A = this chain, B = another copy of it.
Amino acid sequence: MVGKQRDAKILDCTIRDGGLVNGWDFSTEFVRELYQSLSRAGVDYMEIGYKNSPKLHHVPNAGPWAYLTEELIRSTIGEKTATKLSALVDIGRVDEHDIVPRSESFLDLIRVACYIKDVDKGIELAQTFHDLGYETSLNIMAVSHARENDLNEALEILNGSSIDVVYVVDSFGSLVQRDIEYLVAKFQKFAPKKTLGIHTHNNLQLAFANTLTGIDMGVVYLDSSVYGMGRAAGNCPTELLVGHLHNARYDVRPLLDIISRQFIPLRDKVEWGYTIPYAITGLLDEHPRTAMALRASAEKDEYLAFYEKLTTVETHGAHL
């Protein structure tokens, strides 16, 4: 256990996943301060945003962290510390010509997110980044909806690729610890050469618990976000991981400080974290988009009606 804890690498994805909450409306000063706090806390990686192309994927009113440029990263970070930087890209939304070689970049790791049907495209894209010198990961989203044989096959292909890290991603926050144990064992069986990562959501208040289960199973890369700031129910809180792991390089104090000063006021303006609608989509193993829409509406606390809507079979208008 202690050995497994020592191997752990924390990847804080507050700006990237938390950006899904506030439209990436973080000031340069906020991002710089977060990087400095994570560095002092000993966090291994900070994911500073998406490196998608606005030409290929336009999000209205998105802040700059949705479309990272080298200039933005460089002017924000200033001087790099031991904390590495990562960016996420989506299949079909990234222009490979936007990516300079790692030797000219502030980024260390590029992560490719894809659904299981696109795993071939994901591997091809990650290979491009690998050839440019980056560390790479493939994050297989919505793994709770993957068909067993499709997943096994995808993992076997991944095992033969140059990708460094393969992630178990609980996109819907619907998995419990036994599911994590089952999936990690499967990933280890079918992709034994790969280092594993885990990315959790907190719909069932299990994001930290599932991450701990991952550590116990030998998962190395642990996604988290400060005060859990991530889409919908949010992620595994960075402060809990840093506070819990017995490793001399971690120090929770810089995180406590930035949570007090930045995240408490921010949480008063925008919502993330456990609420009943997110618990409902988690229990139903569904994408949280319906719950996100509910929380943005006047009916945000009408839980029973929301549950009935999601679980009642619509018959009117259906072709029987």
Which of A's residues lie within 8 Å of B, judged by CB?
A: 1, 176-178, 202, 204-210, 212-213, 216, 227, 237, 239-240, 243-244, 252-253, 256-257, 259-260, 264, 276, 279-280, 283, 301-304, 307-308
Contacts and interface: CB of A to CB of B under 8 A. Distances in A.
Contact of A304 (B260, B264, B304, B307): B260
A205 B202 CA distance: 9
B206 A253 contact: no
B303 A204 contact: no
A303 B256 CA distance: 6
Nearest to A306: B256
Contacts of A260: 276, 301-304
B209 A253 contact: no
A303 to B, nearest CB: 4
Nearest to A311: B253
Contacts of A304: 253, 256-257, 260
A320 to B, nearest CB: 27
Q: Tell me the number of copies of this protein.
A: 2
A8 B69 CA distance: 54
A135 B16 CA distance: 53
Nearest to A308: B253
A205 B303 contact: no
Given A256-B276, A283-B252, A205 B204 contact: no
Contacts of A176: 209, 212, 244
Contacts of A253: 304, 307-308
A49 to B, nearest CB: 25
Contacts of A209: 176-177, 205-206, 208-210
Contacts of A240: 204-205, 279, 283
7 contacts: A202-B205, A209-B210, A240-B279, A252-B283, A253-B304, A253-B307, A256-B303
Nearest to A277: B256
Nearest to A284: B243
Given A216-B178, A276-B239, A259 B205 contact: no
Nearest to A209: B209
Given A1-B178, A205-B237, A216-B178, A259 B283 contact: no
B239 A279 contact: yes
A304 B262 CA distance: 13
Given A176-B212, A176-B244, A256-B303, 4 more contacts: A177-B209, A205-B205, A240-B279, A253-B308
A48 B1 CA distance: 41
Contacts of A212: 176-178
